[in-house]
Amino acid sequence: MVAEPLRPGQLRVERDGSRSRYAALLDGSVVGVAEFVEHGDVVAMTHTFVEPAQEGRGIGTILAREALADLRRRGLRVDPRCPFIAAHIARNPGSAELASG
Ligand SMILES: CC(C)(COP(=O)(O)OP(=O)(O)OC[C@H]1O[C@@H](n2cnc3c(N)ncnc32)[C@H](O)[C@@H]1OP(=O)(O)O)[C@@H](O)C(=O)NCCC(=O)NCCS
């Protein structure tokens, strides 16, 4: 099945600090999440999930990009424990301030 491309503005990414996650909303409904754990100024990105029916449309990529941009704006460093986030950072050098050690 070929997924329909996303329309401009159809997808929104919101930080939900109370649930330690960024949520991807497609036409207002949550279709993906990027979970994190904060340790001071280091944020471990632990898990990313996109609803199976919505996979392969670029939602995970937009979620990763927006979450990392928000963390950078907040001056936080990223510990990419989730392999999908780690792969995104490897493909987009400079998208995150990485935690060292
Ligand atoms: C991984 C996941 C979040 C990707 O979401 P998505 O919306 O389908 O992602 P995109 O459409 O933006 O695809 C991005 C790219 O990442 C690749 N990718 C998929 N899973 C990956 C993984 N675990 N690690 C690295 N890259 C991955 C895709 O092949 C795709 O590459 P392409 O553009 O060269 O074809 C989603 O498939 C998912 O929820 N999987 C189950 C949970 C999981 O494995 N999470 C990741 C580990 S925490």
Average of pLDDT values for 62-68? 97
Distance 60 CA to ligand 1 centre (A): 6
Instruction: Please determine, for residue 4, whether its predicted confidence score (pLDDT) is greater than 90.
Output: no
The domain spans of the chain are 11-91
Burial of 65 (0-12, 13-18, 19+ CB in 10 A): middle
CATH hierarchy code of domain 11-91 = 3.40.630.30
Instruction: Give dist(CA 85, CA 80) in Å, integer.
Output: 6
CB distance 61 to ligand 1 below 6 Å? yes
Indicate the length of the chain as a whole number.
Answer: 101
- Residue 5 is predicted with a pLDDT of 85
Residue 3 is classified by DSSP as: P
Instruction: Please determine, for residue 2, whether its predicted confidence score (pLDDT) is greater than 80.
Output: no
Kindly list the distances between the CA atom of residue 101 and the CA atoms of 14, 43, 75, 77, in Å, as whole numbers in the listed order: 29, 13, 18, 12
